[in-house]
Structure 1
C-alpha cells in the first residue's frame, strides 16, 4: 500500500468525510503519460496529460550514473508530477468550496 492509500485509509478509519481529494480523484484526471530520458544523462521527465488537456511535468535525476535505473527514474518523475496534480486539484476544490459558501 503506497502512502496515498495509507493516508486515504487513515482518513476513512477516522470518519473524516468533509470534501477532499482521494487518490482515485487524482487517477481520474490523468489520461496519458509519457517519459523521456535525456541522452547521456540520468534525467527522466514524466509528462502527464490531464482530462482537460493540461500537461504536468515531473522529473528525477540520479546523482551517480552507476545508480541510474530507468524504471526507478520513471517512478520518481511520475510521483513528482502527481504531487503537482494534488496541488492543482486541491486549489480547484477549495475554489469550488469557497464559491458554495458565498
Structure 2
C-alpha cells in the first residue's frame, strides 16, 4: 500500500485527529537539489587560487554517474537526503533516478514531522 492509498483510506474512515498529510510534507519542502556522485567528485576537485575557482580535470569512474542524490531543504533549514543507485548501466535514466532519490528523501521527512506534531500534542 503506497502513501496515496493510505491517505485515501484515512479519509474514507473519517479519521480527523491532527496528523501529517502528504500535502504537509510537500509544503514543508523549501527547495530540492539533485546531483550524481560523478558531479560530487568533480566539485570536490575545485580549488580556490587567489580568489579564482580552478577546476582540476579529474577522470572519475563511470559508475559514479549511476548514483543519484537528492537533497531537500526544509522550511526550517534542516536537510534530508535520498539516494538512487542503478545496478545495470543500461537501465540508467537520469529523470527516474531523481524521482527515486526524491521519494527516498521524502520518506525521511515523515518521522521528523511526526515527532514535531507529537511534541506539540503532548504540550497541550
Same fold (TM over 0.5): yes
Residue of structure 2 in register with 1:71 after alignment: 95
Please list, as runs of the form range in 1=range in 2, the aligned pairs for 1:57-96 lying within 5 A after superposition: 57-96=81-120
Three-state SS of the structure 1 residue aligned to 2:19 is coil
Larger radius of gyration: 2
**How far, CA to CA, are the matches of 2:84 and 2:122 in structure 1?**
35
**How far, CA to CA, are the matches of 2:67 and 2:111 in structure 1?**
23
Aligned-residue RMSD, C-alpha: 1.4
Return the TM-score normalized by structure 1: 0.90
Residue of structure 1 in register with 2:56 after alignment: none
**How far, CA to CA, are the matches of 2:116 and 2:13 in structure 1?**
25
Structure 1: state its 5+ residue gaps.
Answer: none
**How far, CA to CA, are the matches of 1:53 and 1:17 in structure 2?**
29
**How far, CA to CA, are the matches of 1:12 and 1:38 in structure 2?**
40
Give, in angstroms, the shift of residue 26 of structure 1.
Answer: 0.4
Residue of structure 1 in register with 2:78 after alignment: 54
Residue of structure 2 in register with 1:43 after alignment: 67
Q: Which runs of 4 or more aligned residues in structure 1 lie more than 6 Å from their structure 2 counterparts after TM superposition? A: none
Q: Give the number of equivalent residue pairs.
A: 99
**How far, CA to CA, are the matches of 2:26 and 2:4 in structure 1?**
12
Structure 2: state its 5+ residue gaps.
Answer: 39-61
